[in-house]
Amino acid sequence: MLNHFLPALLPIILMVGGTLGWSFNTLCSAVIGFWVGSVLVGVVHLVPSKEAHVE
């Protein structure tokens, strides 16, 4: 019985699969970008500034 409905559902299955793949790729990129950005902010925070400290 499923064989009769599968051709009609195939475009929806492919669309959902593509959307899930894109969403997973985007989520992974966001997580990696967050961690790389966090490391860069930490490194920049540790680098002393060029301004002279007036006491």
What's the pLDDT at 48?
82
What's the pLDDT at 44?
92
Q: 44 in helix, strand or coil?
A: helix
Which tens digit of pLDDT belongs to each residue from 22-51? 889 999 999 999 999 999 999 999 988 777
What's the pLDDT at 53?
62
What's the pLDDT at 2?
59
CA dihedral for 41, 47, 51, 55, sign (positive or negative): positive
Task: Return the percent helix, strand and coil in the chain, to nearest 5.
Answer: 80, 0, 20
CA dihedral for 6, 7, 12, 16, sign (positive or negative): positive
Its pTM stands at 0.63
What's the pLDDT at 20?
85
